[in-house]
Structure 1
Amino acid sequence: MAGRGFIHDKLELKFLILYITARVIEPIPFDTVLDLTMCDDAIDYFDFSECLADLVRTEHLSLSEDGLYSITEKGLRNSRICESSLAYSVRLRCDKNLAKCNRKLRRKSQVRASTEKRENGTYTVNLALDDDMGSVMELKLAIPREDMAKMLTERFQKSPERLYSEIMRVLMSSEPPEDAER
């Protein structure tokens, strides 16, 4: 182990990785596990990589075909037993980083945007926004060009609430034309 910090050996590093993967809300890629684990100055990349591989080999973690790590039942049991051996300051730092990571993961799962090419050469942009209760909005738009479709999906992902608010504002403030009733 390199540097000065609270994690002094590979066993403590494994405890830390289990602590993190037990608290993340969905499976995460290698880079995210690494970022969350590097919360202590004593951790280096090579020790981390070795410990992560050991945890998969011993079935404390599972690695999916698409490269996502998640904790197993065995890992959860051992994490609960060992988490108190982690330094309190390390756990606090982890919890802060995990809260931020979980917010991003939750947001990613609640905001979806995709593009499909149609037979006629145009595109369909699918935009969806969910909250904790379910679907808030689903919108499909026909778009003539791929670059426009890509731009719309990127803008929606950055600020889906703005689009939702604007749609609601327009729909709620517009009065139906009087001619439509006749």
Structure 2
Amino acid sequence: MPGYGFIHDKLEIKFLILYIAARVIEPVPFDTMLELTLCDDAIDYFDFSDCLADLVKTEHLTLSDEGLYAITDKGRRNSEICESNLPYSVRQRCDRNLADCNRRLRRKSQVKASSVRRPNGTWTVSLSLSDDMGSVMELDLMMVQEEMARSVEKRFRQSPERLYSQIVNLLLSDAPENADGGKPSPESGDQ
């Protein structure tokens, strides 16, 4: 049974879905649309599902083969016309949720880590970090075991800026280390 809220019928749920789809920065899966739409206590899962399917049928939204929903030009036009019908408090809550969602989506697109098995049985881990201006770092590493590759991927995703900073600091340090890990000796000519 729906709770108390400001959204009272399926038409308002459709307005809300279009409002969200027009503001999310990239196509999103069903679960993300659901999470963002349930910002009002009066909306339930079944009404949401029906409305989302209707919006795809009426070509206000598209559903990709990967299961991602995106707004169409028709949906965007109708969203602009109808958004003022949504209660202000619902739009405010929705905007806060969208800001958080868009931050997560942007982060996901800027930090990438993947592994590929090589013919010799080792693994190549590809790590990349970008920002709004483009690529910041791309790094391929060879790992001897899949578990190591997965661990490197996970750690990179958790703190890519820290890794980038450590690599830059190491490369820019004043005293490069020799092969045995110590400082170069004056006799070696590596000054």
Per-residue deviation at 1:3? 1.7
SS at match of 1:50: helix
The correspondence of residues 10-159 of structure 1 with structure 2, limited to 5 A, is 10-159=10-159
Relative to the length of structure 1, the TM-score reads: 0.96
| CA distance in 1: counterparts of 2:144 and 2:48, whole angstroms | 48
Code of the residue aligned with 2:189 in structure 1: it is D
Code of the residue aligned with 1:97 in structure 2: it is N
Q: In the alignment, which residue of structure 1 is the partner of 2:181?
A: none
Q: Structure 1 regions of 5+ residues with no counterpart? A: none
The verdict on how the C-alpha distance between 1:84 and 1:59 changes in structure 2, with shifts beyond 3 A counting, is same
Aligned residues: 181
SS at match of 1:129: strand
SS at match of 1:70: strand
Code of the residue aligned with 2:54 in structure 1: it is D
Code of the residue aligned with 1:179 in structure 2: it is G
1:165 aligns with 2:175: no
Code of the residue aligned with 1:67 in structure 2: it is G
1:179 aligns with 2:189: yes
Per-residue deviation at 1:180? 4.4
SS at match of 1:43: coil
Code of the residue aligned with 1:129 in structure 2: it is L
Aligned-residue RMSD, C-alpha: 1.3
SS at match of 1:62: strand
After superposing on structure 2, the runs of 4+ consecutive aligned residues of structure 1 that deviate more than 3 Å are: 174-178
| CA distance in 1: counterparts of 2:165 and 2:69, whole angstroms | 36
Relative to the length of structure 2, the TM-score reads: 0.92
Whichever of the two has the greater Rg, that structure is 2
For residues 109-159 of structure 1, what are the alpha-carbon distances to aligned partners after superposition, in whole Å with 9 as ceiling and x for unaligned?
000001011111101100000000000000010111100000000110111
Q: Structure 2 regions of 5+ residues with no counterpart? A: 177-183
Code of the residue aligned with 1:23 in structure 2: it is R
Per-residue deviation at 1:169? 1.0
